[in-house]
Structures are given as C-alpha cells and as structure tokens.
Structure 1
Amino acid sequence: MNPIVDRLHIRQPQVSKHLRVLHEAGVVEYNTEANSSHLQATIGAFQRIKFLDGTIS
C-alpha cells in the first residue's frame, strides 16, 4: 500500500478505505503471501465496466 500512498500523496487510511470499497465491488482482489498482500485487478470487473460503457455488446 505504501507505493500507492507515496504516488498519490494521500494518507494511508484514505487509501485503505478506497481499496476496501474497490474490493467489496469486486474490482480488485487481495493475494496474501507470507507477510505481505498484493492487489490485483479483477478482469471481470473491467469487462462489466466496458459493457456498461457500451464498448462491449
């Protein structure tokens, strides 16, 4: 999460809140390995966004 905080220049609690919302919406998923977590975009979420945008029929 620190790279996101550093790049966006916002506080860690704000990043956590937004990532939680994205996770609950199914846009990102957490992959936990050892003592760290990695975020990954969910492919299906982007397909739904494109469908709603009209770029996929």
Structure 2
Amino acid sequence: MVPAVCLPKEIIRGPVVSEVDVDTPFGIVTSVITTRSVDELELKVGSEVVALVKSTEVSIARL
C-alpha cells in the first residue's frame, strides 16, 4: 500500500454509493465508497484525507 495525503476535488453523491475524486501527488484518483461512509467521514471538497492505494481497491480516510 502507498498512503498519500490528498484533497477531494469532487464528490458525486448517489443514494447508495458516491464517487470521490481526489487530487494526489500521482494525479486524480477516483474512489467509489458508500454514501454512508461519505457522511460518517464528513467528507467535503477540500478536506484533507489519506488515500490508501492497493492493487485491488482505493480507500479514503479523513485525517
């Protein structure tokens, strides 16, 4: 895994899942997470997050 501190550029909310586009040192990465997770993490455009990139998934965590 390669953790990277980054900023969400866009959050497209859906009824069940949401797309979170984050600006990383490696470019824009899009993660699909549950809308419930977006709410629980209180994700907002511009809030600092950590993106963990594994070969099978991309995870987002609020700092």
- Do both share a fold (TM > 0.5)? no
TM-score (norm 1): 0.30
Q: Between the two structures, name the one with larger relative contact order (CA 8 Å, sep ≥ 6).
A: 2
Q: Which has the larger radius of gyration?
A: 1
- Higher helix content, 1 or 2: 1
TM-score (norm 2): 0.28
- Higher strand content, 1 or 2: 2
